[in-house]
Amino acid sequence: MKFSQIRIHKTASLLICGILALLLSVVMGILVGAAELSLSEIVTALSDHDRTTAAGRILWYVRIPRVCTAAVCGAALAVSGAVIQGVLSNHLASPGMIGINAGAALAVTVCAACGILGGWQLSLFAFLGAFGTSIVVSTAAKHLGASDGVVILLGAALNSLLGACTDTVTALVPDVSIMNSQFRAGDFSAATTAKLLPAAAIVLPTLCLLFLLSNALDVLTLGEDHARSLGMHTGKTRLLFLMLSALLAGTAVSAAGLLSFVGLLVPHAVRRLAGGDAAHLLPFCALFGGAFTVLCDTAARTLFAPYELPVGILLAFLGAPFFLFLLFRRRRTGGTV
């Protein structure tokens, strides 16, 4: 069969671009920072695994965990967004927009109030918070037969409600509020290897599983009737995808706080470049989502050095106008985004 050669070439070149973008952004994130390190210092510290010098400590304890965390969280959120958009058949949806991140954030805050500040328990509860919210949204969307816009409004309401719950917890347990402002904006400054490893151990296998299952996600977007006439158990499949995307979003939130808009911006950009079928969309979202988040984080911590902007604020500056752009385009094209 000749699914045209052009498409295969395009996919291959995009794949190379994606890998290069991720590698370059990671290298840049390691080279650039508030502390000015010379290239020779960096190379020495990296090649000798030297963690005693100033350069070594900055690299091994600050920059490398931070950059890797940004890459993992960016990939997780972008893929989670693409999956949510497929499951809900709603291109305006993303884990941030429909309250999934906020559900995870509430769970993380409750955990912090109970003294759980890291490890697998935190990831588990963040997942439960995210999964619970996504079940609420998808059930409501199905039963209300709600249009795309209504689901986003529902998400806005959930975001406020869950935010209020989070605020209540922080007000009642003041110890929690220390990390609060950075957590709310989304930030990688608290990244450590100890936090990164469990997050990566959850995110990377989940991503691989989703790449494997991409055809099922595509069939789901054909609509209930066609998916079922192709022999799919749509209820179970939808639940599985919601679970996996909640696992990604929950882990990202527990590692870096409420990063908004990555799950919206990246899938849309990738859809433009690689087409919308999940077999292409998901891997490219992971690559470009990781690269994009690392770049944004690098920019956020160097633009105003020695002051540091939480990366979530930078993302909001980029993402909010993009969301408006989507709304306007939707209006112009009569519904399709």
Partner 1 sequence: MIELLHINAGYGSRQILFDITAELHPGRLIGIIGPNGCGKSTLLKTAAQLHPHSDGDILLDGVSITSMPSETRARHMAYLSQGHRAPDMTVGQLVLHGRFPHLHFPKRYSGHDREIASAAMETLGIASLADTPLSALSGGMRQSAYLAMALAQETDYILLDEPTTYLDIANQLSLMHLLCRLRNSGKGIAAVMHDLPMAMTYCDEIWVMKDGRIAERGTPIQICASDILSDLFGTAVKYENGNYCYQFNAKSVSDHRMR
Q: Using CB under 8 A, which of 143, 145, 172, 225 touches partner 1?
A: 225
Q: Using CB under 8 A, which of 34, 42, 179, 213 touches partner 1?
A: 213
**Contact between 219 and 227 (Cβ < 8 Å):** yes
| Cβ neighbourhood burial of 6 (10 Å; 0-12, 13-18, 19+) | exposed
CA of residue 271 relative to chain centroid, distance:
16
Give the nearest distance from C-beta 151 to partner 1 in angstroms. 17
Is the Cβ of residue 57 or residue 233 nearer to partner 1 in the bound state? 233
Does 218 engage in binding with partner 1 (CB under 8 A)? yes
CA distances from 182 to 33, 167, 198 (A): 19, 14, 21
Structure tokens at 309: 């902007």
Does 229 engage in binding with partner 1 (CB under 8 A)? yes
Window of 39-47, 93-101, 172-180, 228-236 that interacts with partner 1 by CB under 8 A: 228-236
Does 231 engage in binding with partner 1 (CB under 8 A)? yes
Does 149 engage in binding with partner 1 (CB under 8 A)? no
The letter for the amino acid at 65 is P
Does 163 engage in binding with partner 1 (CB under 8 A)? no
Window of 25-33, 52-60, 92-100, 218-226 that interacts with partner 1 by CB under 8 A: 218-226
Angle CA 172–173–178, to nearest 5: 125
What are the residues whose beta carbons fall under 8 Å from the beta carbon of 51, sequence distance 6 or more? 57, 60, 61
* Residues near partner 1 (CB under 8 A), total: 31
Binding mask 36-75 for partner 1 (x = CB under 8 A): ----------------------------------------
Give the nearest distance from C-beta 281 to partner 1 in angstroms. 8
Is the Cβ of residue 115 or residue 231 nearer to partner 1 in the bound state? 231
Give the nearest distance from C-beta 92 to partner 1 in angstroms. 14
The letter for the amino acid at 155 is G
Gap between the Cα atoms of 68 and 197, Å rounded: 10
Structure tokens at 299: 């920019």
Is the Cβ of residue 231 or residue 306 nearer to partner 1 in the bound state? 231
Is the Cβ of residue 44 or residue 221 nearer to partner 1 in the bound state? 221
Q: Using CB under 8 A, which of 68, 78, 216, 282 touches partner 1?
A: 216
Gap between the Cα atoms of 153 and 178, Å rounded: 31
Q: What is the radius of gyration, based on Cα positions, of the chain?
A: 20
Residue 153: CB atoms within 10 Å: 13
Does 195 engage in binding with partner 1 (CB under 8 A)? no
Give the nearest distance from C-beta 100 to partner 1 in angstroms. 21
**Contact between 130 and 103 (Cβ < 8 Å):** yes
Gap between the Cα atoms of 213 and 217, Å rounded: 7
Q: Using CB under 8 A, which of 21, 32, 61, 89 touches partner 1?
A: 89
Give the footprint of partner 1 on residues 273-332 (CB under 8 A): 275-277, 279
- Is there a cis peptide before residue 283, judged by omega within 30 degrees of 0? no
**Helices 311-333/278-302 angle, 10° precision:** 140
Is the Cβ of residue 32 or residue 222 nearer to partner 1 in the bound state? 222
Q: Using CB under 8 A, which of 9, 51, 57, 226 touches partner 1?
A: 226
Is the Cβ of residue 122 or residue 281 nearer to partner 1 in the bound state? 281
Residue 298: CB atoms within 10 Å: 23
Binding site for partner 1 (CB under 8 A): 1-4, 6-7, 89, 212-213, 215-216, 218-219, 221-226, 228-233, 271, 275-277, 279, 336
